[in-house]
Amino acid sequence: MGKYFQPEIETASRDQIINIQNEKIVKQVKHVYENVAYYRELMDEKGVKPEDIKSIDDIKKLPFLSKADLRDAYPYGLLGTDLKNCVRIHSTSGTTGRRVVAFYTQHDVDLWEECCARAIVATGGSSEDVVQVAYGYGLFTGGFGLHGGSQKVGCLTLPMSSGNTERQIQFMMDLGSTILCCTPSYAAFIGESLAEKGYKPSDNKLRAGIFGAEPWTEEMRREIEKSLGIKAYDIYGLTETSGPGVAYECEEQTGMHINEDHFYAEIIDPDTGEVLPDGEKGELVFTALDKEAFPLLRYRTRDICVLSREKCSCGRTHVKMSKPMGRSDDMMIIRGVNVFPSQIETVLIKEGYAPNYLIEVDRVKNTDTLDINVELSPGQFSDKVSDIQAKEKALEAAMRTMIGIGPKIHLVPPKSIARSEGKAVRVIDKRKLHD
Ligand code: DLL
């Protein structure tokens, strides 16, 4: 296999991509209007008919869909085809409210796996590779998505699922895994566990990792690359749009190419809904151009990012999205200041700490408090209280410079913060518990 999984699409000219999108959106809006009563009503309310959508530019006329709509329509309200045509269900790991349930026809599974195959080939993947899939299998889309993509590429696929780190390491070493797929926090944990067992990064055969499903910083990327001796690639997606592979990184590692022949991306102002030009930061909105069973139009992801159409040296022409800079609902407002967990992670790694931390926000006597528990490595640990206090003060000062408010830092002993095998829980906001 060459550098691309589907070169004719991945390197298509802008005109060709727009032609594909023009053709697909007209068909897709018709399909949705005819088959999804929930969305038909939204279109009727807005006074838009399928005939009004003649090209991709007309997409602006369509109503948005939000997570609240998905909850309203649970479970079958947004289904675009008969259940008997569906072959699969996946669901979000959502901790609040109703879960989102997404449906797939065989065509939908195929296009999703194709997207994941593109992501694997973009890391240099081929039938020579042994792909260890350590995302969870089950309702979560991570395991099955990368699994399907890996098989499409012809890689030897290890369906490990997440967890059981001992076994992950044993298979990795015995079978010579070359590509690891899991959440970045789990990759960091695997790296840490390998080091504890006395392995050097050069002892494993891994050369690439495909990590996503949660926010991670450039600093964390470098840590993981060092600890596993690999190149770490980002991958993005959400259950509502199919799963991983909506966008993926190439060798340039400067943002993720969105599979624009299947997913049309817009950036909007989250407050007004106004579409923003490329290069401006806002909420990412996706339209699935050819999914059958769960064909969401203008779905608001709540992920905040920037799109860029700068020429990419890899030869791919599809628009790139930046790493999500947090979700609009991930942002903490602490004493009126907007704080993202990613800012905290950046400072921690810059100051020489591992990305094992837990942020606690509370409100005491009407004032917000921000406590950050940060784990020390065995080498950093000291039983001299004054040493620890000095380090805490230094870290508090570095945080204040970055985020504008002073947190209380608690340096905690090695191994005292729970490791994650899937999506890491980084924030506990106790304020919500009191409301
Ligand atoms: O996390 C799908 C996925 C699986 C993506 C494996 C990548 C790899 P959900 O559980 O529905 O689906 O969560 C989707 O996770 O809206 C983002 O907020 C976040 N997310 C996903 N990928 C990234 C990433 C899967 N690369 C939600 N960076 C999305 C930052 C990400 N956040």
- Domains by residue range for the chain, with CATH: 1-328 (3.40.50.12780), 332-434 (3.30.300.30)
> What is the pLDDT confidence band of residue 93, given thresholds at 50, 70 and 90?
low
Residue nearest to ligand 1 atom 21, measured at CA? 213
For ligand 1, say whether the CB of 183 is within 6 Å of any of its atoms. no
Of 328, 317, 250, 318, whose CA–CA distance to 284 is shortest?
328
For the segment 356-362, the average pLDDT, to the nearest whole number, is: 94
Q: What's the pLDDT at 149?
A: 98
> What is the pLDDT confidence band of residue 13, given thresholds at 50, 70 and 90?
very high
For ligand 1, say whether the CB of 255 is within 6 Å of any of its atoms. no
Question: How distant, in Å, are the alpha carbons of 163, 401, 421 from that of 214?
Answer: 17, 25, 12
CA of 136 to the centre of ligand 1 (A): 13
Residue 435, pLDDT > 50, answer no
Residue 320, pLDDT > 80, answer yes
Residue 95, pLDDT > 90, answer no
Q: How many helices (H) and strands (E) does the chain have?
A: 12, 20
Per-residue pLDDT tens digits for 277-305: 999 999 999 999 999 999 999 999 999 99
Q: What's the pLDDT at 338?
A: 82
- Three-state SS for 2? coil
Query: pTM for the complete prediction?
Result: 0.91
Q: What's the pLDDT at 2?
A: 76
CA of 245 to the centre of ligand 1 (A): 10
Q: What's the pLDDT at 434?
A: 56
Residue 375, pLDDT > 70, answer yes
Please give the number of the atom of ligand 1 that sits closest to the Cα of 243.
Answer: 2
Alpha helices in 90-239 (DSSP H): 106-122, 141-153, 165-175, 184-196, 218-228
CA of 383 to the centre of ligand 1 (A): 39
